[in-house]
Chains A and B, each alone.
Chain A
């Protein structure tokens, strides 16, 4: 919130092309780059701020710092060669890429996945969601000066990474979900070790609740700040916790169930104030949901069974012409893969739909004008954006 009321009549006005007419020579305005190397930025992106005093009058998101042309790379690889690439589109929650890609291939190729594999996939996705939220809590608290929470969450995330490593052999990029199923079964005693992690997490999260949500500084700087008018949700493609924090209780897991979510009990977290505080609270409640879902999955899943469908010879695998869209609810909102095939052994086109594409570009640029410089970091982090989803 601003502690002063500037004379906005002096601010630049948009020209006919919609651009602000900022004349830096007047000395009224200053260009300030938040990122790409800045503690208040998530990942490799930057926000070009035009400020007048403490107030930001314009913000432009810049991406491209880690563009690898993933979608182009996929067109040059056979269907089986693509699967180790897709996870790299999103570092903190890579498994959604694996699931969406695999499910799109399976649908277009007419492959049925064994039941055991669908449970394993759900487990992996919830573990990934949990870890993504650990990074989020560390990020939002760090952007407001609460460095301790980030340290705790990094520790807890590391414990979950141990379980990932035990299950998949890898900590970050798991390459566990592939067309046809998953790469393996649960190791012996996995459920008990996972329970230990969840109990440790709950202990730390209780501390986070005290340190963060009861902290007057945190509340002052997040309540009523960065409010997204729910009327903007559809126009700006707002999904996931950002929309649920504004009272739009939409969750792909419930509304369009995939994998085994229709066999699991949970109520999507939601709020109504649509400010930074509520967005953090909704994500905090979503962590509890994820913990509960992991427990349910481990309890309800079959204890044995095949985890891979029989695939054709993957070196000569051609998929009939077609197109589809597979989506799921990741920690940031709707994540999806649009895939087009042309009957050859290579995808014709794959387009990755990450929630950050709309949240960190058009929405963030819309929300920034009028904020205080010091609030930009919290505003941006509260939208929970990951730049690689934008660049792909």
Chain B
């Protein structure tokens, strides 16, 4: 994996290689170099399997991290390619021409994180949510507890405990 990184580093302006295990590592690439890198990994280096595409919200830094997890099945190598996007105008590049399944991931990311992928098929269609008008719910600033309290009525007779205090009272009733 280190050899591969050394081979690709200059050509694709890669960040440092971060190994996790012998057959798993991560690397960051500038957004404008993403397509070139993914295409070369797929067509030249055997990383033909797009395992997943997902996002991580680094709200404090104003960034979204897209992670493209690529797998070389024959060589048993997995590489996580990270791209950082500006959180305020989060737009990723459509990759469905490389892997048709990317369209599903991109559609979900649009709905759950608000990251747009112009040109991706059906990217604006509802995926899981129906009639959703609030913040994209997987963003860190979407408060799921507050949303539930505002949206749903309290069930009569239901009691909520503080988990820590409740466990303490159950485990140590004598105090």
Contact = CB atoms under 8 A, between A and B. Distances in A.
B20 A323 contact: yes
Nearest to A250: B73
Q: Is the interface of A mostly helix, strand, loop or mixed?
A: mixed
Contacts of A327: 51
A61 to B, nearest CB: 9
Contact of A18 (B24, B121, B126, B127): B121
Interface stretch (A149-157, A272-280, A304-312, A356-364): A356-364
A296 to B, nearest CB: 23
A237 B99 contact: yes
Interface stretch (A110-118, A129-137, A188-196, A346-354): A346-354
Interface stretch (A92-100, A202-210, A333-341): A333-341
Contacts of A340: 56
A256 B100 contact: no
B100 A349 contact: no
- Contact-residue size bin, chain A (C-beta under 8 Å from the other chain): 35 or more
Nearest to B125: A60
B110 to A, nearest CB: 14
Contact of B51 (A19, A235, A334): A334
Interface in B124-144: 126-130, 137-138, 140, 142, 144
A69 B144 contact: yes
A185 interface: no
A325 B104 contact: no
Given A18-B121, A64-B127, A64-B130, A235 B20 contact: no
Contacts of A73: 144
A255 B20 contact: no
B103 interface: yes
Contacts of A237: 49-51, 99, 101
B89 to A, nearest CB: 21
Nearest to B104: A361
Nearest to A76: B144
B129 A67 contact: yes
Interface string B46-64: 0011111011110000000
Interface residues of B, number: 39
A323 B142 CA distance: 23
A72 B73 contact: no
A51 B50 CA distance: 32
Contacts of A361: 101, 104
B14 to A, nearest CB: 16
A355 B76 CA distance: 18
B102 to A, nearest CB: 9
A15 B48 CA distance: 29
A301 interface: no
B114 interface: no
B69 interface: yes
A325 B24 contact: yes
Nearest to B42: A234
Nearest to A324: B20
B158 interface: no
Interface in A268-322: 315, 322
A322 B101 contact: no
Contacts of B55: 349
Contact of A255 (B54, B57, B73, B140): B73
A259 to B, nearest CB: 15
Given A237-B49, A338-B52, A391-B128, A71 B138 contact: yes
A362 B104 contact: yes
Given A72-B144, A361-B101, A67 B128 contact: yes
B92 interface: no
Interface string B65-99: 00101000100101010000000000000000001
Given A64-B127, A325-B24, A362 B54 contact: no
A366 interface: yes
A338 B104 contact: no
A213 interface: no
A-B interface, 7 closest residue pairs, ranked by CB to CB distance from nearest: A64-B128, A351-B54, A234-B48, A349-B56, A362-B101, A353-B52, A361-B104
12 contacts: A64-B128, A69-B144, A72-B142, A76-B145, A237-B99, A324-B21, A349-B57, A351-B54, A358-B101, A362-B100, A362-B104, A363-B101
Interface of B: 20-21, 23-24, 26, 48-52, 54-57, 67, 69, 73, 76, 78, 80, 99-101, 103-104, 121-122, 126-130, 137-138, 140, 142, 144-145, 164
Interface of A: 17-19, 63-64, 67, 69, 71-73, 75-76, 107, 234-237, 239, 250, 255-256, 315, 322-325, 327, 334, 336, 338, 340, 348-349, 351, 353, 357-358, 361-363, 366, 391
